[in-house]
Amino acid sequence: MKIMVNDEVHEVSARTLAALIDELGYSGARIATAMNGDFVPVPLREKTDLRDGAKVEIVAPMQGG
Amino acid sequence: MTALFYGVELSSPLMLGTAQYPSPDILRDAVLAAEPGVVTVSLRRESAGERAGQAFWTLIRDLGVPVLPNTAGCHTVKEAVTTAHMAREVFGTDWVKLEVIGELDTLQPDVFGLVEAARILTEDGFKVFPYTTEDLVVAERLLAAGCEVLMPWGAPIGSGKGLNNVFGLRALRAHFPDVPLVVDAGIGVPSHAAQALELGYDAVLINTAVAKAGDPAVMARAFRLAVEAGSLARKADPMEERDMAAPSTPVVGKAMLA
């Protein structure tokens, strides 16, 4: 199915957010996730099912003021 | 007495931003020279290939300075609240510098959204450092929403104009003598930072003034010395201003030569 990750379309086989993170190569990274505008904490990623067209945000530490 | 920020005493009244440095090495040198009490950090989209955020996190973690994540760039309550939640998980702290930007030319806070987001986040257990204006009524609302620190601007973010409204900042300090206050944004040179501390502010947050200096590490050291000078001056209880001159050299005993 097609998932938008950080505003880019990805064709993925993952069915959960946790599987998506593995499939896209983020395993082990210090990241946080949101789906369709809502925060998804780490313990809920496995229980969060993906739907076609879902919008996922994957963020990490960055410089800030 | 040194102010406590949600029960925590900072090692320095200097809070340093980590953005806009020419290189990671210069950022590191600047942090080492500034000896800040906290560094501010943010969240941005991560690419699985580049993993830029992971390298940045390693640099910050190794510096050993407490972090204060921000919600910079958020324009709505929903964005700011979601960003704060993501920051809490990534950085492992419930401190958040809450920014809800209301206007692009001045980057001034949307104080209505700010109060609403602050209430939601404090109810969720966050310790909110709200980026606000010097408005007393907004300050009251933020405190009522559960904030225990206020961070009024000195001038627009990145402008370097210093303390635009000294009267307003002084009034805020006088009105809330027991609330930790931080001047955030607009400070351009170390004398501005010293002035904020002389006014009785408990800390200053600096980013662009250090990062965009010709030599950020030297400027960082200058700011460290400025906040030390400002803190000492405040403790020493500055003299009263007066409108007319008063001779400092005693007149009594002066030779009569006229």
pTM, full prediction:
0.92
Question: What does the block give as tokens for B39?
Answer: 């560094």
Residue B157, pLDDT above cutoff 80 = yes
Burial of B66 (0-12, 13-18, 19+ CB in 10 A): middle
Distance from CA of B2 to the nearest CA of A (A): 23
Residue B97: active-site member: yes
Distance CA B54, CA B46 (A): 9
Contacts of B57 in chain A (CB under 8 A): 30, 60-61
Q: Which residues in chain B have their CB less than 8 angstroms from residue A62's CB?
A: 41-44, 52-53, 56
Distances (CA, A) of A42 to A38, A45, B85: 13, 5, 11
Taking an 8 Å cut-off on Cβ atoms, the answer to whether A30 and B90 are in contact is yes
Which among A12, A17, A16, A15 has a CA at the least distance from the CA of A57? A17
Q: Which of B17, B44, B60 sits opposite A59 (nearest CB)?
A: B44
**pLDDT confidence of residue A55:** 96
The structural domains of chain A, with segments of one domain joined by +, span 2-59
Q: What is the mean pLDDT of residues B53-57?
A: 92
Give the list of residues 6+ apart from residue B125 with CB closer than 8 angstroms, or none: B94
List pLDDT tens digits, range B83-110. Answer: 999 999 999 999 999 999 999 999 999 9
Instruction: Give pLDDT tens digits for B221-250.
Output: 999 999 999 999 999 999 998 999 988 998
- The pLDDT of B131-136, averaged and rounded, is 97
| Residue B156 clears pLDDT 90, i.e. is over it | yes
Residue of B16, B46, B51 for testing the chain A interface, max A β-carbons within 10 Å: B46
pLDDT tens for each residue of B107-129: 999 999 999 999 999 999 999 99
Q: Is 3.10.20.30 the CATH number for A2-59? A: yes
Nearest to A64 among B47, B52, B72 (CB): B72
- For residue B45, name the pLDDT band (cuts at 50, 70, 90): very high
Work out the burial of residue B149: count CB atoms within 10 Å of its CB; fewer than 13 is exposed, 13-18 middle, 19 or more buried. Answer: buried
Q: What is the DSSP string of chain B?
A: -PPEETTEE-S-SEEEE--S-SSHHHHHHHHHHH--SEEEEEEEE--TTT-HHHHHHHHHHHHT--EEEB-TT--SHHHHHHHHHHHHHHH--SEEEE--B--TTT--B-HHHHHHHHHHHHHTT-EEEEEE-S-HHHHHHHHHTT-S-BEE-SSSTT-----TTHHHHHHHHHH-TTS-BEEES---SHHHHHHHHHTT-SEEEESHHHHTSSSHHHHHHHHHHHHHHHHHHHHT-PPPP-SS---SS--TT-----
pLDDT, averaged across chain A: 95
**Average pLDDT in the B124-143 region?**
97
Quick one: average pLDDT of A32-57? 95
Domains of chain B with CATH codes: 9-236 (3.20.20.70)
B159-170 pLDDT, tens digit each:
999 999 999 999
The confidence band for B3, taking pLDDT boundaries of 50, 70 and 90, is: confident
pLDDT confidence of B1, banded at 50, 70, 90? low
Per-residue model confidence as pLDDT tens digits over B161-198? 999 999 999 999 999 999 999 999 999 999 999 999 99
- 3-state secondary structure at position A19: helix
A11 pLDDT tier (thresholds 50, 70, 90): very high
- pLDDT for position B50: 86
Is the per-residue pLDDT at A38 higher than 90? yes
Q: Which residues 31-70 on chain B approach chain A with CB closer than 8 angstroms? A: 40-49, 51-54, 56-57, 60, 69-70
Interface predicted TM-score of the whole assembly (ipTM), two decimals? 0.94
Q: What's the whole-number mean pLDDT along residues A6-30?
A: 94
Residues 18-47 of A with CB under 8 A from B: 24-26, 29-34, 37-39, 41-42
